[in-house]
Amino acid sequence: MDVSRRAWLRGTRRRGRQPRANRIASGTARRDSSSGRPSWRGPPLARTAAPCEPSWKQLVPNSIVFSKIDRLFACAERQIIEAWENGHAEVPVFRYAQPPDLSELMALLESVATNAASHGPLAELYAARARELFLEARLVEAVGTVAFRERAAERFPVDRDVHGRHADVVAAEWARLSVPAATRWVVSDDDRDPQSLLSVLGALVGSMRLAIRVSATSDLACTAATGDGFILVQRGIRLRPESARRIALHEVLGHAAPRLRARLEPIGLFAVGTARGSEDEEGRALLIEERHALMDCERRRELGVRHLTALAVRDGADWVETVRHSISADFSPRAAVRVAARVLRGGGLARELIYLPAWDRVKSAFAADPRIEATLERGRVGVEAARVLERSSAKRRDDGRVVGRLFPASRLDVDVRSDAPIGK
């Protein structure tokens, strides 16, 4: 045990007991043999760091963009929601940090994109990713300016191929779905409720023994987000219990597990990501939801409305038009404001355009060649890059588990019922 670990444990004893979800997420929860729950056997598969609550600015999700874009302040968000609930079309004032100087990074990325492409198929994958990161760096420099929307459309364009056209049709159908009234609600960060998102995430992470911290925060524009070694949960969000289970699967199996698995790969491309790797990661996460029968009417309507709202933003919709677009689909003012805050991040990111086309693309690719799925499970790899990797010398045997040999759970054998024993 290193010095920092001992110091953290001493601090924990002084402060008293942690919420059980946090202790499960950090791997420090004790197992009671008298409870009938199975105890762990053998050493942990990965070292678990001491839990802490990272700032949202430390978040490293699917691209450079999200670590640099400020969100609507929580207090202002509450005021705007109340105004819309009272019939007033309130417009927020977004505040952004001073954009960093990324000229040196952009020059390096441009050099990699130019020089690497001529060194074979694997080098071309690095070059394509460098070009993608170059576009994201340009986005960061334009946050909050009039140039942001144009650069966002360059990085996340409207998909006009067969998968994009199918996504437009599906979104229009899903946006018209009626959602049954909820019989029960849970609060996202209620660690006393075993069905809350924080508790379900902690149970799932603990049962798979992942080196991931689960923390609650007040600084997210979405309900949950995955970073490098942690998952953040937005405080105070009302969810259906089944939605909490769906989000837990989405974040852990769709995002966190492949990123941990990527650390074991012989080449860094799995961790750095490939071009369209973040898009197809989202598509695979949606497919995981569908396979576990958790993509219900509420989720499908949400995805449909987000897609159509993002299309409206690409066509020039402002804040008021964006909120009204969601309200016209029978979203509550609260939900409509949160969708607008998400889609208009940075000045009009509209990254929600990628979800349904990627879901359709990934689903078709897996049906045509199951080997592609095994490759996507190993890291942040896109479908096209997976095909190249399958043909290259970087190919590596995979045993068909969730993410190779690291985690002992098959793709369809993860139990996230609220009453499932930890370790099942």
pLDDT tens profile 253-266 = 999 999 999 999 98
Most confident range (mean pLDDT) of 267-271, 321-325, 387-391 is: 321-325
Most confident range (mean pLDDT) of 43-57, 109-123, 214-228 is: 214-228
Q: Per residue in 155-187, pLDDT tens?
A: 999 999 999 999 999 999 999 999 999 899 999
Nearest to 352 by CA among 377, 384, 317: 317
Most confident range (mean pLDDT) of 7-16, 295-304, 334-343 is: 295-304
Distance of CA 71 to the CA centre of its chain: 16
Edge-to-edge order in the sheet of strand 224-226:
213-217, 230-234, 224-226
Interval 46-68 mean pLDDT: 33
pLDDT at 76: 76
More confident residue, 326 or 390: 326
Query: Which tokens belong to 208?
Result: 């798979």
Interval 264-291 mean pLDDT: 94
147 pLDDT exceeds 70?
yes
Q: Bridge-partner residues for 149, per DSSP?
A: none
Contact 192, 385 (CB under 8 A): no
DSSP 401: B
Percentage of the residues of the chain whose pLDDT score is greater than 90? 61
CB neighbour list of residue 357: distance below 8 Å, 6 or more residues apart:
159, 161, 163, 164, 166, 167, 279, 283
Contact 285, 250 (CB under 8 A): yes
404 pLDDT exceeds 70?
no
Q: How far apart are CA 1 and CA 202, in angstroms?
A: 23
pLDDT at 35: 40
Mean pLDDT of the chain: 79
36 pLDDT exceeds 70?
no
Nearest to 325 by CA among 344, 345, 341, 305: 305
Nearest to 217 by CA among 198, 199, 201: 198
- For residue 370, the tally of other CB atoms under 10 A from its CB is 10
pLDDT at 290: 96
340 to 149, 232, 233: CA distances (angstroms): 14, 21, 19
Interval 33-40 mean pLDDT: 38
pLDDT band at 422 (very low <50, low <70, confident <90, very high): very low
CB neighbour list of residue 280: distance below 8 Å, 6 or more residues apart:
358, 361, 362, 376, 381, 382, 383
| Greatest extent of the chain over all pairs of C-alpha atoms, in Å | 62
Query: Which tokens belong to 185?
Result: 């609600």
Interval 283-301 mean pLDDT: 96
Residue 237 sits at φ, ψ, to 5 deg, of -90, 130
CB neighbour list of residue 251: distance below 8 Å, 6 or more residues apart:
201, 224, 225, 226, 231, 285
364 pLDDT exceeds 50?
yes
Contact 241, 186 (CB under 8 A): yes
More confident residue, 248 or 401: 248
E strand spans, 54-211 = 186-187
Q: How far apart are CA 301 and CA 297, in angstroms?
A: 6
pLDDT band at 75 (very low <50, low <70, confident <90, very high): low
- Residue type (1 letter), 245: R
Interval 194-208 mean pLDDT: 95
pLDDT at 120: 80
Q: Per residue in 79-127, pLDDT tens?
A: 898 999 999 999 988 878 888 889 999 999 999 898 887 778 888 999 9
pLDDT at 356: 98
Interval 296-312 mean pLDDT: 96
- For residue 419, the tally of other CB atoms under 10 A from its CB is 7
- For residue 204, the tally of other CB atoms under 10 A from its CB is 28
pTM of the model: 0.77
Least confident of 127-141, 212-226, 270-284: 212-226
pLDDT band at 219 (very low <50, low <70, confident <90, very high): confident
86 to 80, 314, 323, 358: CA distances (angstroms): 10, 28, 14, 37
- For residue 407, the tally of other CB atoms under 10 A from its CB is 22
Q: How far apart are CA 338 and CA 222, in angstroms?
A: 8
Nearest to 185 by CA among 250, 248, 243, 247: 243
pLDDT at 222: 86
